[in-house]
Structure formats: C-alpha cells, structure tokens
Amino acid sequence: MNEAVLLAGSVILICILISRFLEKIPVPSMLIFIVLGIFFGENGVLRIAFNDYEFADDICLVSLIFIMFYGGFGTNLRVARPVLTRSVILSTLGVAGTAGTVAAFVHLCFRLPWLESMLIGSVISSTDAASVFNILRTSKLGLKYHTDSLLEVESGSNDPMSYMLTTVTLSLMAGRSVSIPQILFQQIFLGILGGVLVGAVTVWLMRQSLLGSQQNRTVLLFAAMLLAYALPSVLGGNGYLSVYLCGIWLGNTQISQKRYLVHFFDVLTDVSQVIVFFLLGLLVTPAQLPAVLIPAVCITLFLTFVARPAVTAVLLLPFRAPWNQIGLISWAGLRGASSIVFAIAAVLSGVQTRYNLYNLVFCIVLLSMALQGTLLPKAAAFFSMIDENADVAKTFSDYQEETNVDFIKIHVNDQYPWCGKELRKLPLPPELMVAMIVREERTIVPDGNTRVLAGDLLVFAAHPFEDRENLFLHEVGVERGSRWANRSLSQVSLPNGQLVILVKRGMETIIPTGSTVLLPGDVLVLAESVSNNSGT
C-alpha cells in the first residue's frame, strides 16, 4: 500500500511539473499520461507488473463519475441552446449509428461473430470530452457556428449511450434472456429520473440555511454526485446518464459562491483524468500489442474516415449544417478513456473474444489521440472553422482569479449623487474603471458618455489590495442577549482604529452601513491595522 501511495504521489507531481511544457506541444496531454503509464509499466523502465483489472475498473469508475459530473456542471445550456438538438441526436443516434457501422465493418473484414463485432463497435462508439476540450482550450481555438458548444454537449453526453449498448451486447453474449427495449427504457428512464431528482433536491438543500459553511456546501455537492450515479445504478438505471444530468442541473442553476465549487471540481477532474490515463497505460502490456495492431489500425482508419463522417453527415444535413462544420465534427470524434473503461468491464464480464479486447481498444484510443488529436488544430484551419472573434467564455470570476484585478458592484438609487451624471463627469480615480452596467436585465458596456440612471448596477474594475500582512481581520459573533444584538451599527461602540467591514448572516454576506441592524447569530468581520492590533 505504501508503494502504491508513493507511486500515485510521484505521478501527480510529475504531471504537475510537466503540465506547462505539455501546453506548448501539439500532442494531446492525455496521450502523454498514457505513455507515462507505459513507461512505469511491465515493459517500461520501472517494470511495475500491474494486471489487476478489477482494481483498475473501480478506480476508473470513480474517476469517470467525477469527469461526467463536471462535464455536465460546466455545460452552459444558454450558450448551447442553438445546437442542443443536434448535440443530443449525435450523442444518441450518432453513437448507435457509429457502433452499428463499425460492427458491420469488423464482421465483414475480420469474420468475427456479429455479437463480438457489435461489442467492439459499442465500446468505441463514444467520443472523449476531456481530450477534445483539452486540445481546444490549450490551442485557444474558437469555432464557428457554435461548434465548440455542440462538441462539448455531444462528447459529454454520449458515454451513457455507449455504456447501454455495451451492457446489452454483453448480456446477449452471456446467453441471458433479455428484452432490449425494456433494458433501454429502464436505463434511460431511471437515469433521467435519478439525475433530475438528485439535482433538484441538492439545489433545494443548498438554498437553505442548514449547511452553514462553504465547505459543507462542497461536501454536499460531492455526495450528490456520488448519489446521482449510485441510486439509478442500483435500480438498474444508467448511472452515467444520471450523474451527467445532475451536473447540468446544478451547473445551470443560480448557486451562491459557485466559483469555489468550480475550482474544486476543476482540480478534482484534472486529477481524475491524470489517474485514469496513467492507470490505463500502466495496465497494458506493450509486448502484447503487436497481436492486435493490424485490426486496430484498420478499425481506426475506418472509424475516422468512413463511419464517423458518414453518420455525422446523415444526422446533420437535415439541419442544413455546412460541410466544413460536418468535416470538423467528424474529425473531432476522438476516442478516449471511457472506451477503455468499457473494455475493462467487458473483460471482467468473462465473455470470450478472438482478440484481447482491452489491448485492441487501447490501441484504437492511442491511434485516435495521436492522429486526430494532434491534427485537430490543423483540421480546424483546413475546414476554415476557426473564429478569431469567438467568445473565450471567460467570466469576471475567471479573470479575478487569474490576474491582479478585482471586480466590485454598486447599486445606484435615485438618492445617489452619481444618478443622472455621465461617467466622464464622475470624480473617479484613474485606477478605478466602470467595466459594465446592468440596467433592467440588459448588460451595457459603457463609455464616457454613458449616463448613470437610478436602478443601475455598476461593476467596477480595480487593482486588489496586496498589503495584507499589515491588515488584521478577526471575527466577533453576536450572541443572543449581547449588548450589540438588535441594535444598528451606528449605536455600537468600537475601539478606535476598528471597522466592521462585513456581516455574515447565514449564507448571506452583508456590506454594512450605519443603519444595518445586527441580529443574534450574525458574525461581524472587523478590520484593524497590524500596528494597532499589536498594541492591544
């Protein structure tokens, strides 16, 4: 166990150290993590013999739950709405069509039984969201016609369909008497019900005052993610579909302090992806790969240049999609971790196949990443799909975290001295800028001639305060029966040099004024200089 922990820590550290370097090379970083696993593996330099499929399946299952949830959590339905129908069709009918087309090719070309051919097609029928968007974001590629949103929703939501097809095929290969319509209905119905139900209940809980702290809210979301997968899975439903829908529900709901949740799950998902790809590389035995190399190359070429383009064209042409968009979407259908994880599940089921299914799928994924992943930026340029003016989907919170700029807001009422004045006439210091005005649910990017009106919400940009070591903050609770309770802040006597800068009331944060009434249970945050504090 100690050796395993040492290995895990070492791998994560190595990945962090080389991450900046990986951003500068055109090869997908996920491919590097697989190669790193092979380097540590049985035929690598360290010769770590690892063939525990059950352990790998458990770890990959948990990691996929994180990845699927965050894929839904990060999906902006408002932005994706113009292409939502097409995305869903590609993630359902597209997956089924790809699986069937590949199955027919494998059956005719390699003379495998139909069910075994269908198993191969089902396992590799879904695309990998992590790989696609790792490349798009690293290369800073903005795409025309909302294609990036289409790919995001499609690749994030097609794993459940691939999983269902794999499950049904394995049941048939095991000789079990199954009703395919019943299994599909049960998987889909319970998956949708589980995701929506857990998502709705979680949102309700997060809006109550029961949780108290941001840490508890994060733990609640973590628990919701696990329950969203486990509940429908135990009842025979599709856990992957459920956890993805739960993520969408929560990600598109107004939740206070959401950016902290985003950063937490962003880190968690990144670590999960590293673990999955490294573990899959560690699990493979490279000396056995030549036995499946020829069929893997043939299937990859057919999948890349025939099956995916044909299915994509058939499904998108009715929407009058441009041919260059169809071409890029076809090329962006990278295979990834989920395909290999489903292959592990097939191996553990005990079904007999002519080729080692894990090695075969591993090679297909490796070839797909190396070919499609490396050339994806060039393909976007070849198909003239790069939008130089595309929105990079950054928020104020993103820039506040990444740069030395803070954003603050001020509500303007009709008594405010700025009301009715043009921005250029306001006595603002040069380091303070009005970046945005929200007026009657409209967003205005202002200039000097913009007039401030009653009801406006002004968003200011400014440099943050950095001399924090000379500012001392501490909290004071307002207890029931306290001399401060039920009194306005102007009636509270504070020592010289101290100021109440905010009031925490449950999940609400209040910037106080002299008329703010302090209630039992409030937590006051007081500021004072370090020099003043050292003298008390």
Task: Name the residue type at position 274.
Answer: V
User: Which 8-state DSSP code applies to residue 81?
Assistant: G
Q: Rounded distance, CA 310 to CA 497, Å? A: 73
CATH 3.30.70.1450 describes domain 468-534: yes
- Contact indicator for 456, 414 with CB cutoff of 8 Å: no
Task: Name the residue type at position 178.
Answer: V
Q: What angle do CA 183, 184, 188 make, to 5 degrees?
A: 115
Burial of 446 (0-12, 13-18, 19+ CB in 10 A): buried
Phi, psi of 205 (to 5 degrees): -65, -40
User: Which 8-state DSSP code applies to residue 370?
Assistant: I
Could you tell me which of 193, 197, 221 has the C-alpha nearest to residue 207? 221
Can you give the pLDDT at residue 109? 92
What is the signed CA dihedral for 276, 277, 280, 284, rounded to 10 degrees?
-170
Do 2-382 and 404-462 show the same overall fold? no
Q: How many helices (H) and strands (E) does the chain have?
A: 22, 10
Could you tell me which of 23, 28, 110, 25 has the C-alpha nearest to residue 332? 28
How much is the pTM? 0.69
pLDDT digits (tens, 9 = 90+) for 154-164: 877 788 888 88
CATH 1.20.1530.20 describes domain 2-382: yes
pLDDT digits (tens, 9 = 90+) for 459-492: 888 776 655 555 667 778 888 888 888 888 888 8
Q: Rounded distance, CA 376 to CA 369, Å? A: 10
- Contact indicator for 348, 57 with CB cutoff of 8 Å: yes
In 10 A of CB 327, how many CB atoms? 19
Phi, psi of 354 (to 5 degrees): -65, -45
- For 106, residues 6+ apart whose C-beta sits below 8 A from its C-beta are 112, 116, 117, 120, 121, 295, 299
Burial of 31 (0-12, 13-18, 19+ CB in 10 A): buried
Can you give the pLDDT at residue 101? 95
User: Which 8-state DSSP code applies to residue 354?
Assistant: S
Residues of the chain with pLDDT under 50: 391-395, 397-402, 534-536
Q: Rounded distance, CA 261 to CA 22, Å? A: 26
Could you tell me which of 266, 364, 332 has the C-alpha nearest to residue 132? 332
Can you give the pLDDT at residue 123? 92
Pairing status of strand 457-462 against strand 433-439 = antiparallel
The tokens 């009301």 sit on which residue?
419
- Contact indicator for 304, 372 with CB cutoff of 8 Å: yes
In the chain, domain spans = 2-382, 404-462, 468-534
Can you give the pLDDT at residue 103? 95
Can you give the pLDDT at residue 279? 81
CATH class of 404-462: alpha beta
